[in-house]
Amino acid sequence: MGKVWRVRRVEVPLTEKQLEGLIRRFDTDGDGKISRNELRVGLKGLGLRLAGFKAGCAVRYVDADGDGYIGDDEINQLAKYVFKWGITIT
């Protein structure tokens, strides 16, 4: 009988800088701001459960000027907030 090979699943946590770069890609319409919906779709694409709820919480927590969007100056804070969730790459 031949050898049986098992594939191990390796999870690598993202750094804050990597996460920030990833979050910047969520801006699908190119306006320089990330809406709650863009964040929801991006987080869902990463496989996060309850992505809509988490996106809403993140926007409320990070949105300093209260316009409902995550601006370029707020993305760093968003990355720090989302970093706590422990997003990994498999």
* pLDDT tens readout for residues 1-58: 567 777 666 677 778 898 899 899 999 999 999 999 999 999 998 888 899 999 999 9
66 located within any domain: yes
Q: Which of 4, 10, 45, 5 is nearest to 26 (CA)?
A: 45
The span from the CA of 70 to the CA of 29, in Å, is 13
Q: What is the pTM of this model?
A: 0.80
6 located within any domain: no
52 located within any domain: yes
50 located within any domain: yes
Domain that includes residue 85, residue range: 32-89
60 located within any domain: yes
Give me the pLDDT at residue 90, please.
60
**What is the CATH number for 82?**
1.10.238
Give me the pLDDT at residue 27, please.
94
Number of domains in the chain: 1
Give me the pLDDT at residue 52, please.
94
User: Lowest-pLDDT range, 20-29, 43-52, 62-71, 80-89?
Assistant: 80-89
Tokens of 18: 């990597």
| Residue where the block lists tokens 């869902």 | 44
12 located within any domain: no
HSE, side-chain direction, 13 A CA sphere, residue 3: 3
The span from the CA of 40 to the CA of 28, in Å, is 12
